Amino acid sequence: MKQLTKAEEEIMQILWQLKEANVATIIGEMPEPKPAYNTVSTIVRILENKEFVDHRKKGKGYIYFPVVAKDTYSDQSMTKLINNYFNGSFKSMVSFFMKKNEMDTKDLEAILKEINKDDK
């Protein structure tokens, strides 16, 4: 799966949230300053070429919708992060974030409790 640029990911986040939208609606969901219509339209076409988005015709325009699920992209991105920066070790990644965010063992225990709760 291809990686997304920051701008592409921003648009995908909006499409994942809305499920489908035209370019004008996507722009309406973006923070100020709003990008130009042509800019967003171009990025959406790039997302189509990368096979993250597809469209259907509606009147004179198009409605765009994601074809890659957010969970699928998130899983792939996390795997790449772990492999590229932590030599494939989830333990190393957790250790890094614990040190960087000054977490203590109580925080880790709370996280483990949350993970175990989700498994049940």
Residues 61-82 have pLDDT tens digits of: 999 999 999 999 999 999 999 9
Average pLDDT per run of 10 along the chain, which is 120 residues long? 92 98 98 97 98 97 97 92 91 86 84 77
For 9, left (φ over 0), alpha (ψ -120 to 50), or beta?
A: alpha
> Can you give the pLDDT at residue 110?
87
DSSP annotation string for 78-113: HHHHHHHHSTT-HHHHHHHHHHHTT--HHHHHHHHH
> Can you give the pLDDT at residue 119?
63
For 36, left (φ over 0), alpha (ψ -120 to 50), or beta?
A: beta
> Can you give the pLDDT at residue 62?
98
The answer to whether the beta carbons of residues 113 and 106 sit under 8 Å apart is: no
Separation of alpha carbons 90 and 63, rounded Å: 39
CA distances from 46 to 24, 54, 73 (A): 17, 11, 16
pTM over 0.85: no
> Can you give the pLDDT at residue 35?
97
Round the average pLDDT of the chain to a whole number and report it: 92
Strand, helix or coil for residue 61 = strand
> Can you give the pLDDT at residue 103?
82
Separation of alpha carbons 95 and 92, rounded Å: 5
